[in-house]
Structure 1
Amino acid sequence: MTKILPHVPDHARCNISTTTHQTSSVTLEQPTNDTTTQRAIYPQFIFFGDSITQFDGNPSTGFSCIGSLRYNYARRIDIIARGFSGYNTFDALTVLPKFFPAPQAARVRLVTIFFGANDACLPHTTGQHVSLKHFKLNLHKLISHPCIVAHRGVNVLLITPPPVDEWQFDDLEEPAKSARKAVIAQAYARAVFEVGVKSGTAVVDLWGACMREVGWDGGEEVPGDRRLEKSGLGRLLVDGLHLSGEGYTILSEEMKKVIASEYPELVPEKIPFAL
């Protein structure tokens, strides 16, 4: 997955104001040239991730998690997708200040952090590898990033990377063919859970939900491993890594479950229409 990474100088910082935040679900701005019209600024959910976030909405997959949530939150929340193909968590830390809105520009109520698929590449293959140790450190830095925590009451959802199906990599060119392994993807999914527990952050277990869908019994043998028989992961992944329509359906349902259980104030019916 090719990436074009914008340069962010070391001194780059979010434009964070100390202005008091709005407490209502929608901020109303009064244009200076019209004293009779108020402009509604919708609260935002920001979906931040790699290519699996960027490709969400591809018509060829048949289902979009982000599209489904946009439908559910219509007139209540602006769903903003910020997916960056090829990025790992080091790249994520670099790019975050380039796009994340300051509190005076928007009210962000939820942020998803969905990385790990590229971090989990084997060393000396694609150049995207991030060790488990640094992967977890980077996730902690993202969760506590000044650009995010500047938004009072913001909630964060960590999403585990999906499974890897090595059987589907036959058509890929080297080094991508041998860059990802099923058991390594499992390790990075577990790492996301560890960060969630340590930081008190809710986790959407996409990896586990996909495994349950293909009947995994929790044993040591992990579906997707080329040394085993083919599993049902081919229905959930289009190329061994990226989600199919069925995969995005699972992600959508799991996200809705976690929001309802961990952040019930953010279910659609609890958020009033902006207009």
Structure 2
Amino acid sequence: MWRNTDRNIKSAVPIVWPRLVLFGDSLSQHALEEGGWGSRLAEKLVRRCDVVCRGLSGYNSRFARLVLPRILPYTNKKEENENTTVTVLLGSNDSVSPVSPQQHVPLAEFEENLQGIVSYLASLGIQKKNIVVISPPPLCEPKWVVECKKCGYNVDRQNAFTGKYAAACMRVAAQAQTSSLDLWTLMQHELHNWQDYLSDGLHLSPAGQRFLAEALWTLLEPLLADLPSILPRWDAVNHERPEDSLLTWPQSD
């Protein structure tokens, strides 16, 4: 019989689960929807890593840089973040025309903000290779014009302008020696029908969600390959003395 249950539970050492944090704008906020790129990654990482969505619809790099320390607070215990991976996907809102001043951020400031975000993440003890800077996807202008007319928005985006912000993302990643994914270039070079990968010209369609998940997994799999399955399989637990298996993991796994 298992005895001293309360004592065993109170003395149990908490398990610190590895984390994959999805940080950015609506492209990240939608990531955990059914079929979203974050949901697809979570399925691959089940029981090995928490996938945490911290996407904020409509946010630009100026807003994101300000709130990041509230989302991932600074800690002196940097070892807590050794198994944290963060994706940073920003630029779609920064790159709107100045006709939309609530979201537009000048290119130079965008680059500076992104540098600040990456620098802050590194200061938390997150390994640079585990910081993944993702560029915004391309913009399908005809679809976006239709969406703007339908919703009464100003037509405030151009694909070529978004491309300048995508290039800035890659410059920041190269300078900081982080991982990176140039989604803007990748979609247009690898997909002859890349416009179908965007639902309204700006946001990812189901096909786009799948494409980003697959491209990102190519980067993440080597980084996360060594993460073990957390806690032993049920049939490996000593059913007569489960505390021997469950309270000493991973030592006895």
**TM-score when scaled to structure 2?**
0.79
CA–CA distance in structure 1, aligned partners of residues 26 and 223 of structure 2: 29
Structure 2 CA distance for partners of 1:80 and 1:32, relative to 1, 3 Å: farther
- Indicate the larger mover: 43-52 or 94-103: 94-103
Structure having the higher Rg: 2
Segments of structure 1 that go 5 or more residues without pairing to the other structure are 1-30, 216-231
Equivalent in 50, 60, 71 of residue 43 of structure 2: 71
Residue 171, structure 1, aligned to residue 127, structure 2: no
Asked if structure 1 preserves the Cα contact closer than 8 Å seen for 2:32 and 2:53, the reply is no
Higher helix share: 2
Deviations 1:43-98 (A, max 9, x none): 11111010010012333xxx211111111111111111100011000101111111
Asked if structure 2 preserves the Cα contact closer than 8 Å seen for 1:126 and 1:179, the reply is no
The aligned counterpart of 1:159 is: 134
- Where in structure 2 are the equivalents of 1:77-96 lying within 5 Å? 77-96=49-68
Deviation of 1:38 (Å): 3.4
Asked if structure 2 preserves the Cα contact closer than 8 Å seen for 1:126 and 1:176, the reply is no
Using the aligned pairs only, state the percent identity. 30
Equivalent in 192, 196, 204 of residue 243 of structure 1: 204
Structure 2 CA distance for partners of 1:102 and 1:272, relative to 1, 3 Å: farther
Aligned length: 220
Structure 2 CA distance for partners of 1:198 and 1:102, relative to 1, 3 Å: closer
Structure 2 CA distance for partners of 1:138 and 1:152, relative to 1, 3 Å: closer
Residue identity opposite 1:251 in structure 2? L
The aligned counterpart of 2:157 is: 180
Deviation of 1:246 (Å): 0.8
Equivalent in 212, 215, 222 of residue 254 of structure 1: 215
Tell me, what secondary structure is at the counterpart of 1:193? helix
Deviation of 1:214 (Å): 3.2
Tell me, what secondary structure is at the counterpart of 1:40? coil
- Indicate the larger mover: 152-161 or 71-80: 152-161
Tell me, what secondary structure is at the counterpart of 1:71? helix
CA–CA distance in structure 2, aligned partners of residues 139 and 32 of structure 1: 48
Residue identity opposite 1:187 in structure 2? K
Structure 2 CA distance for partners of 1:201 and 1:36, relative to 1, 3 Å: closer
Residue 266, structure 1, aligned to residue 218, structure 2: no
Residue 209, structure 1, aligned to residue 186, structure 2: yes
Deviation of 1:187 (Å): 1.2
CA–CA distance in structure 2, aligned partners of residues 69 and 233 of structure 1: 22
Tell me, what secondary structure is at the counterpart of 2:31? coil
Asked if structure 2 preserves the Cα contact closer than 8 Å seen for 1:125 and 1:175, the reply is no
The alignment yields a C-alpha RMSD, in angstroms, of: 2.4
CA–CA distance in structure 1, aligned partners of residues 25 and 126 of structure 2: 26
Residue identity opposite 1:266 in structure 2? L
Segments of structure 2 that go 5 or more residues without pairing to the other structure are 1-5, 232-253
Deviation of 1:140 (Å): 0.6
Deviation of 1:101 (Å): 4.5
The aligned counterpart of 1:58 is: 33
Residue identity opposite 1:90 in structure 2? R
The aligned counterpart of 2:3 is: none
CA–CA distance in structure 1, aligned partners of residues 104 and 31 of structure 2: 23
CA–CA distance in structure 2, aligned partners of residues 185 and 272 of structure 1: 39
Deviations 1:156-208 (A, max 9, x none): 00000010011012232477441110111111111111111111111112112
